[in-house]
Structure 1
Amino acid sequence: MSYKIVFFDIDGTLVDDRKQIPPGTVQAIRELQSRGVEAVIATGRAPYFFAPLLETLGIDSYVSLNGAYVVYKGEPVFSREIPQASVKAFVSHAARHRHSLVFESHSAFYTNNDSDPLMLESVTSLRVDLPGYDPEFWQKQPIYQMFLHCESAEEPLYERAVPGLKMIRWHEKAMDVMPDDRSKAQGIEALLAHVGVSPEAAVAFGDGLNDKEMLALVGLGIAMGNAHEELKPYADYITTHVEEDGIGNGLRYAGLID
């Protein structure tokens, strides 16, 4: 198969635990691009969380917010917000359990509790600026995703709390909240349709639980050596650890670089 496009998760895939891009990864992606194969980011993060990475890697296309906001060559091509009624219901439910939220639009993010230690710990782990404070932000802009800040033992409080919404844990103190039919695969399908490329001609790299649908969709799904064990069965190939040239080795397996 001659692959035409490659989708890359960020955390644990393009960047290591220190949120640094290994030098070998930069070299591998530049070689990929030099051969005319498109490199695209596919992440749960919002665009303002990874702008420096795009510049470093020379990438201008991305699937962000777990598939909710898609940009191709700098131009938005797909978006799907959480219905405001669902956001309102979730805000009320979280308030009853005294859990804080972060609201993410495509251009900014705000929290309804800027002193919550769970929020501070989890967002700080991303090595990004902290959100602003605006409990009513969700009423002012389209919200594509929320962070719910709670312990793992408290997750049952949210099972079936708001019909149509699901949660995926990305930190021991935080989960993404999104529509239950949302995944990176949804955004990837929209981008592939826009450029006229079939899923079979695509490759994807990931390491987390929100990468399952993405790896299953494409022609070649590659899990990092450091990937969550529950992700690995969805992969066609398991490459090495992110710090052991995992991206380079995966691209070589795909026949895309030497």
Structure 2
Amino acid sequence: MTDYKILFLDIDGTLVTPEDTIEESTKEAVSQIQEKGIEVFLATGRPLHEIDDLAKELNINSFIGYNGAYAIYQGQDIFQEPMNSETVRHFLDIAAANHHQAVLYTHEKNYYTDLNSQMMNEFIKKFHLHKNESYSPSINSSVLGMTLVNLQENEASLYNSEEGIHLSQVNVEGMRHCYDVIRDKVNKGYGVQMVLKRLGLNKESSIAFGDGMNDKEMLQNVGESFAMGNGHPELFQYAKHKTTDVTNSGIYNGLKKLKLVK
């Protein structure tokens, strides 16, 4: 039997339901995993300065945030990889020309190109963002991640001009007009690789659960990968296993398949 050492969990649509709750079966599964001495990481596109309550609820102290641009292990920084400032400026120019909005995340705050729009207020409410300010070019060299807002599905291609970067549709009901900016070389998969290297763990000892296309690289860089039943249809091909929905004990059932929970 494989000696599992580490578990990576996406948040939205994987750990947290569309109603912004965590199932009791999920809490129990995480607790049982921790009792076995397996380290649990939250691996998310969210900014890490906005998930304290969630982390405390589950007694989790290790994170990969900003879609792989920043990682923390037991309160200690592992790495930070800010975006290229010219890329940030270029994408903001495209957004402005096409009536799109943007959220830019630094280590400490979230910055908005239109903080007062109704669409952005809905975004802030949905993802429980509190440390919010209006965008200023002075932050361009400190941006760890970016989400583009108010895109039609065919408009994602407008941003394809930048080599080494792609957009990933946010797989959350009511937020599918939002797209995360994902770097080919800095993503959740890169974050997983960096964490495993730092902790001296092999790929085979790791497990991951995800539901969105921003989880693709993460699922490809672990030993046991699970796509949630509610996952993006294109994600399933990148996962070793398909589990049940986030609202139907998806994490618990996946870990039970590995005989890690009772």
Same fold (TM over 0.5): yes
Q: For residue 77 of structure 1, what is the aligned residue in structure 2?
A: 78
Residue 218 of structure 1, CA deviation:
0.7
Structure 1, 237-246 or 156-165: larger mean CA deviation: 156-165
Alignment of 1:96-245 (within 5 A): 96-129=97-130, 131-139=132-140, 142-153=142-153, 155-156=155-156, 158-170=158-170, 171-245=175-249
Q: For residue 55 of structure 2, what is the aligned residue in structure 1?
A: 54
Task: Classify the secondary structure of the residue corresponding to 1:16.
Answer: coil
Residue 127 of structure 1, CA deviation:
3.4
Q: Distance in 1 between matches of 2:185 and 2:153?
A: 24
Measured against aligned partners, the alpha-carbon deviations of 1:13-60 in whole angstroms (never above 9, x if no partner) come to: 111001111111111111111111111111111102211111011110
Residue 180 of structure 1, CA deviation:
3.3
Task: Classify the secondary structure of the residue corresponding to 1:241.
Answer: coil
Aligned AA for 1:189?
Q
Contact 1:199 1:218 in 2 (8 A): yes
Aligned length: 257
Matched residues, percent identical? 33
Q: For residue 35 of structure 2, what is the aligned residue in structure 1?
A: 34
Task: Classify the secondary structure of the residue corresponding to 2:146.
Answer: strand
Q: Residues 116, 160 of structure 1: CA spacing in aligned structure 2 closer, same or farther, 3 A cutoff?
A: same
Contact 2:100 2:151 in 1 (8 A): no
Contact 2:27 2:58 in 1 (8 A): yes
Residue 164 of structure 1, CA deviation:
3.8
Measured against aligned partners, the alpha-carbon deviations of 1:178-226 in whole angstroms (never above 9, x if no partner) come to: 4332320000110110100011110001111111111111110011121
- 1:251 equivalent to 2:255? Answer yes
Structure 1, 4-13 or 95-104: larger mean CA deviation: 95-104
Structure-2-length-normalised TM-score: 0.91
Q: Residues 97, 220 of structure 1: CA spacing in aligned structure 2 closer, same or farther, 3 A cutoff?
A: same
Mark the runs of 5 or more structure 2 residues left unpaired by the alignment. none
Q: Distance in 2 between matches of 1:77 and 1:255?
A: 30
Pairwise CA RMSD of aligned residues? 1.8
Task: Classify the secondary structure of the residue corresponding to 1:67.
Answer: coil
Structure-1-length-normalised TM-score: 0.93
Q: Distance in 1 between matches of 2:200 and 2:56?
A: 25
Residue 227 of structure 1, CA deviation:
1.3
Task: Classify the secondary structure of the residue corresponding to 1:242.
Answer: coil
